[in-house]
Structure 1
Amino acid sequence: MPEPIKASNSRYMPGIDGLRALAVLAVIIYHLNYNWAPGGLLGVGIFFVLSGYLITDLLIAQWSRHGRLDMKDFWLRRARRLLPALLLLMVVVVMSVALFVPEQMGRLRGDVWAAVFYVSNWWLVFSEVSYFEKFGPPSPLGHLWSLAVEEQFYLIWPLLVALGLSVVKRRGPLVMLTLGLAALSAILMAVLYVPGEDPSRIYYGTDTRVFALLIGAALAMMWPSRKLTTNISGKARLTLDVVGAASLAILLLSIWKTNQYDDFLYQGGLVLLSLVSALLVAVLAHPASALAKVMGCKPLKWLGVRSYGIYLWHYPVIVLTSPTGMEDGGVIAVVRAALQLVACIVLAALSWKYVEEPIRHGALGRLWANVGSGKKRGASKRSTRILATGCAFALCVIYFGVATLT
């Protein structure tokens, strides 16, 4: 899952990247073999809490500095961060399906356009595609439902934050309003859940999953990263690490033991686990936390930085390289799973190095300047125009690939 573009004076939190790594690995292990980590789907909920915290922390910091939010800049940075890697993924997936499983191209058409417009979750709901019951080969783009939930949040939440900060001057009432919205979402999940029936509707729905993002947002209002300092007492440090270790242990145990069909999950369990995730995020965001230093170790930090790409690539790799007939087991299944894990990490690393990082550091603007007329233009305008050109080209490739092969 993607992280917000950091403001110039923001503090890097390596422990947060370590948590991203654990969350994405939990999701991958779940998709590789449900029996290995039946609660691995909880990794998505961890990402939601993280995203809610980091985005809101960024927005409030910008408001504190400038007294306003630059929506255009915010959304442009989101597009520059998210779209290139996503469109690259979709081009590769369309080409791979066309070459190796062309009979699936007709089914892929709707998934592609839903992904482009970040409505994959609602497309799956209205198409009555179950997340839990698999009939036939799954779509290699089925995992993009969670990114759709986040992007819908990114579109609406900054407007609500700006309105709230303009009208409600005190932070306390804003926290209560945010938690009130989270409670409504959680109540809706519990009300719509019917024991014994497929819970995919409430699992996919933005309305029934946004509580995790809002819990993270409320944490950002109460625990802004820019105000956290290492100048705290020894007792406070110990409390931080005890709370963090307990929260991490609860999440790991839940990933190991929780079943996707547990009634508990949809009748308050996911809310409780989001609150536990928020406690862990609070500890890892604090510069005085020893646990944050452990979670920020180089291997976890490396994976966490690339977690968006790893999440993007893992599901297509698993779907397109797994047998569709009788499942094999034992050593063969373990070797295949290991190779799939390595493949998605390698693809994500290549995407990070050659697509995501260059674009984040102005490659689009430099490229446009090189191919342009030589007139001086603002870097933001150059980046916007070439980003739009590149996206349009990728969409054309995807469209003609799907249209001509269905």
Structure 2
Amino acid sequence: MKLTYYKNLDGVRAIAALMVMVFHFFQSIEINTPTLSRLSKISIFGQTGVTLFFVLSGFLITRILIFTKSNTDYFKNFYLRRTLRIFPLYYLFLLIFYYAYPFIFKSEFIPIGQQIFYYTYLQNFAITFNWATDGPGHFWSLAVEEQFYLFWPLVVYLFSNKNLYRIIVGIIAGSFILRIIMLMHNYEVFYFTFTRFDSLAIGALLSLLEIRQIFNKRNANKFLLLTVGILAPTLVLWTFVTGEANNIIQAIKYVLLSFTYFALIGYVLSINAGNFVNTILESKFFAYTGKISYGLYVYHPFAYMLSKRFMYTENWILNMIIGFALTYILAALSYHLYESNFLKLKKYFEYSGKKEMIQKKTTTNIV
């Protein structure tokens, strides 16, 4: 098997980051006009950018694991590379949040006992079960991903691709059933690890389809039709079904949303290199946004708070431009001056077989 780099997926990652940024911006401002009210309602769908991240991550990580499972240093290289990519920025921002925020925003220091769940990637458990904790609220998704990748490399290592299909189906079914059970007992299912694993597993399914060479121009329109076909009921449920509605419908929304992004990524992987969609996704703006997307995700609430405190205007459009610009500046500085120093160390833990990889629709990085 040869591992293909897809440059256009950097653009998909950029879109996911921008969706979340738009969502949180409208959640952070006062809604005082009919126009803002309508935009705020539309922006809620930007929250699903996290699900897009999950599906994309499930695909990118699983294809790497499948490709390298025969390597001697399979586990060591995966976990060390993952650590170098995620931990430095994650823990840096926790220090900023817990020890710089109070000075900047004149707030009280958060007790160490309420910080511990964030240091140990258990914040989403704490949020779900109402344990006493306080920290960057958007970090719940990072916990879900890291918890998934604690066991997923072992699953890929131990089981054949044929059995991975069965395991993925089991994860999807299990997450769905658990969501229903937890909703029946009035627990939040949005943040909890085991009620969100299906999004990552659905992304993993894409990697198995790639092995079967499903992604080609003959199947591009099929994936596009599938995207539209799933998106329509998903939008209806997401827009009109509230937390008070039927628990089964609430639970199924997450499956539909994940498969919508599954089909969308399948379409992007299948289209010709010269397709106008690729022209957009591979443009310099989207390529760079995808490159620093981790920083954009981490820093954007902080940037919004800074801009609101020190650069606030009476014009929400100008405030949005300032907030986004500051987010890009922080993420770019972080990437080039801090994160890149750790990323350079990944060369010591290269995946063997890398010379056999080919470039089809090149991408800058695979996780």
The two structures share one fold, judged by TM-score above 0.5: yes
1:120 aligned to 2:104?
Answer: no
1:29 aligned to 2:22?
Answer: yes
Residues 234, 253 of structure 2: 8 Å contact kept: no
Q: CA separation of 1:244/1:344 partners in 2, compared to 1, >3 Å: closer, same or farther?
A: farther
Instruction: Report what 1:346 is aligned to.
Output: 329
Instruction: Report what 2:34 is aligned to.
Output: none
Instruction: Report what 2:340 is aligned to.
Output: 357
CA distance in 1, matches of 2:127, 2:254: 21
Q: CA separation of 1:17/1:253 partners in 2, compared to 1, >3 Å: closer, same or farther?
A: farther
Q: Which amino acid aligns with 1:288?
A: N
Give the alignment partner of residue 204 of structure 1, picking from 188, 191, 198. Answer: 191
Q: What does 1:106-255 align with in structure 2 at a 5 Å threshold?
A: 106=110, 109-110=112-113, 112-127=115-130, 141-165=136-160, 171-194=161-184, 201-224=188-211, 235-239=218-222, 242-243=224-225, 246=228
CA distance in 2, matches of 1:361, 1:255: 44
1:86 aligned to 2:90?
Answer: yes
Q: CA separation of 1:235/1:224 partners in 2, compared to 1, >3 Å: closer, same or farther?
A: closer
Please, which runs of 5 or more residues in structure 1 have no aligned partner? Answer: 1-6, 130-137, 166-170, 366-378, 381-406
Counterpart secondary structure, 1:204: coil
CA distance in 2, matches of 1:172, 1:206: 25
- Residue-by-residue CA offset, 1:149-191 (whole Å, 9 max, x unaligned): 00001111111111213xxxxx333212211221111121123
Offset, 1:219: 2.0
Give the alignment partner of residue 276 of structure 1, picking from 260, 263, 273. Answer: 260
Q: CA separation of 1:293/1:68 partners in 2, compared to 1, >3 Å: closer, same or farther?
A: farther
Counterpart secondary structure, 1:288: coil
CA distance in 1, matches of 2:238, 2:181: 27
- Residue-by-residue CA offset, 1:365-399 (whole Å, 9 max, x unaligned): 9xxxxxxxxxxxxx56xxxxxxxxxxxxxxxxxxx
Counterpart secondary structure, 2:159: helix
Offset, 1:350: 0.8
Offset, 1:146: 0.4
Q: What does 1:8-19 align with in structure 2 at a 5 Å threshold?
A: 10-19=3-12
Offset, 1:237: 4.8
Please, which runs of 5 or more residues in structure 2 have no aligned partner? Answer: 28-39, 350-367
Counterpart secondary structure, 1:202: coil
Offset, 1:281: 1.4
Task: Tell me the matched-pair count.
Answer: 330
- Residue-by-residue CA offset, 1:97-141 (whole Å, 9 max, x unaligned): 23134543125x355432222112112223358xxxxxxxx9661
Q: CA separation of 1:93/1:13 partners in 2, compared to 1, >3 Å: closer, same or farther?
A: same
Q: CA separation of 1:185/1:255 partners in 2, compared to 1, >3 Å: closer, same or farther?
A: closer
Q: CA separation of 1:357/1:344 partners in 2, compared to 1, >3 Å: closer, same or farther?
A: same
Q: Which amino acid aligns with 2:333?
A: L
- Residue-by-residue CA offset, 1:217-238 (whole Å, 9 max, x unaligned): 122122249x577xx5x64455
Offset, 1:52: 0.9
CA distance in 2, matches of 1:296, 1:263: 41
CA distance in 1, matches of 2:68, 2:94: 33
Offset, 1:255: 11
1:300 aligned to 2:283?
Answer: no
Give the alignment partner of residue 81 of structure 2, picking from 77, 81, 86. Answer: 77
Offset, 1:254: 7.5
1:54 aligned to 2:40?
Answer: no
Counterpart secondary structure, 1:127: coil
- Residue-by-residue CA offset, 1:8-50 (whole Å, 9 max, x unaligned): x743212211111111111111111141502221111111111
Percent identical pairs in the alignment equals 27
Residues 251, 273 of structure 1: 8 Å contact kept: no
Instruction: Report what 1:393 is aligned to.
Output: none
Residues 38, 259 of structure 1: 8 Å contact kept: no
Q: CA separation of 1:115/1:262 partners in 2, compared to 1, >3 Å: closer, same or farther?
A: same
Q: What does 1:37-48 align with in structure 2 at a 5 Å threshold?
A: 37-48=43-54
Instruction: Report what 1:387 is aligned to.
Output: none
- Residue-by-residue CA offset, 1:329-356 (whole Å, 9 max, x unaligned): x943333232122111111111111122
Residues 50, 281 of structure 1: 8 Å contact kept: yes
CA distance in 2, matches of 1:350, 1:177: 41
CA distance in 2, matches of 1:267, 1:256: 11
Q: CA separation of 1:214/1:316 partners in 2, compared to 1, >3 Å: closer, same or farther?
A: same
Counterpart secondary structure, 1:12: strand
Q: Which amino acid aligns with 1:155?
A: L
- RMSD of equivalent CA atoms: 3.4
Offset, 1:56: 0.6
